[in-house]
Amino acid sequence: MRAASSGDIQAVLEQLSRGGDMDAKDIFGHTALAYAAMAGHERVVRALLIMDAAVDTENLVGLTPSMLAASRGHHQIAQLLSEHRVSGCDA
């Protein structure tokens, strides 16, 4: 999750290639997608979406990655996540 929050797409892909669970949650209920969305790392968000990361996973207070992105001012990422959720399409 640290790689996703820092925008290190290579490290994210490496962790996933070694069997990392992209939908694993931390103690706050955040996934790698949530951290990438909150930090505004669109490339990481798109990569996780292509790999079928869960878009509607809620954290401990019920916020999804789209909501978290919007709350941090990353409206383009919030829109991307919302469109992906509705259409089920690749990023």
**And the tokens for 61?**
């207070």
pTM of the model: 0.91
pLDDT of residue 1: 82
- Which CATH superfamily includes the segment(s) 2-87? Ankyrin repeat-containing domain (1.25.40.20)
Report pLDDT for 87: 64
**pLDDT of 85 above 90:** no
pLDDT at 38 over 70: yes
Domain boundaries, the chain: 2-87
Instruction: Tell which residue, 69, 78, 77, has the closest CA to residue 38.
Output: 69
